[in-house]
Amino acid sequence: MKIIGTGSALPKKVVTNDDLAQFLDTSDEWILPRTGIRSRHVITDERLEDLGKDAALLALKDAGLTPGDIDLFICSNVVNEYLTPSLSCVISAAIGMHCPAIDINCACPGFIYAMDIAENYFLAGKVSNVLIVCAEEPTRMTSWTDRSTCVLFGDGAGAAVFTKGDNVKAIKLNSQPSVIHLYETRPLLPTPFITRHETEQPLHMDGREVFKFAVSTSLRDIEEILRKTGTSVDEIDFFMIHQANLRIIEGIRRGLGAPESKFPSNIYDHGNSSSASCPILLDECNRKGLFKRGDKLVFSAFGAGLLSAVAFLEW
């Protein structure tokens, strides 16, 4: 498959580190050097499905397609208002799309997991065009009294349209299953029969463990797919790394020995938008005209699960 269109949508409200310092024991001096984040877009009156819809329509327009041209719609999402139907069905209803619709919850690497599913549908000859939308509102998952998590996240949606092609060179999905390092729980509705105790736990993250996992698996798997495809680091034009922390991106960059110019980043004014981060970055780079046909792009993302994934494709 190959990418023929991208889109993204962000909430209008921008919250700076200084805004956070108004009600949290934190500061721009702590957040910026440790994360690379100065501000983030945060949902106020928007609905996540509307951001997903806007990103989808922009990607379809960029691809020169209509909803009726799409054969498969994959939506990556961790949390939204609807437990059912799936967010992909909610967005499909909003844009009048009638193809099979699947949601996946693979946390931050969701875009790459979705690409892997899509690529296999193409290889099976079952589809001509696939739409992927990653829509996330992680600011609704954290406790806003927990300074170690809430300062990191921002909301948004990113989308990409794929058609037949031979541009995907390799994808590697990875899991190192562990619940305790990164999780959130919420009680379900009570029943007359339930006897076990259920707790509400806002997003809990062992930052250092996740940091180490991110850098080590990303480096290992990027090097593996480059080795397997006989490609050198120098031949890659852009490394599209999940925007979780600028120091993680720096760790990966130094490990690969690649120049900063090959690592586009928007974390400064976006924060971490979970699986939406890679397709939002992709769309912003695309709209700036950063890519030319044939450019070699490597994606890498990591997060809850613990899951991670890398993909190597040509623009």
Site string for ligand UT7, 46-85 (x = CB under 6 A): ----------------------------------------
Q: Write the CA distances from 83 to 1, 78, 86, 191, integer angstroms.
A: 31, 10, 7, 18
Which one of residues 248, 258, 278, 281 is an interface residue with ligand UT7 (CB under 6 A)? 248
Count, residues near ligand UT7 per rule CB under 6 A: 20
108 tagged catalytic:
yes
CB count in 10 Å sphere of residue 209: 14
The upper half-sphere exposure of residue 148, i.e. CA atoms within 13 Å in the direction of its Cβ, equals 8
The upper half-sphere exposure of residue 92, i.e. CA atoms within 13 Å in the direction of its Cβ, equals 23
For residues 142 and 163, which CB has a smaller minimum distance to ligand UT7 in the complex?
142
For residues 133 and 214, which CB has a smaller minimum distance to ligand UT7 in the complex?
214
Answer for the pair 10, 52: CB distance below 8 angstroms, yes or no: no
Task: State both tokens at 221.
Answer: 């798997």
CB-closest chain residue to ligand UT7: 207
Query: Does position 40 bind ligand UT7 by CB under 6 A?
Result: no
**Smallest gap, in angstroms, from Cβ of residue 41 to ligand UT7?**
16
174 tagged catalytic:
no
For residues 264 and 303, which CB has a smaller minimum distance to ligand UT7 in the complex?
303
Which one of residues 210, 236, 249, 280 is an interface residue with ligand UT7 (CB under 6 A)? 210
**Beta-bridge mates of residue 17:** none
The Cα angle at residue 105 between residues 48 and 282, in degrees rounded to 5 = 65
Answer for the pair 181, 108: CB distance below 8 angstroms, yes or no: no
**Smallest gap, in angstroms, from Cβ of residue 208 to ligand UT7?**
5
Which active-site residues does the annotation give? 108, 242, 272
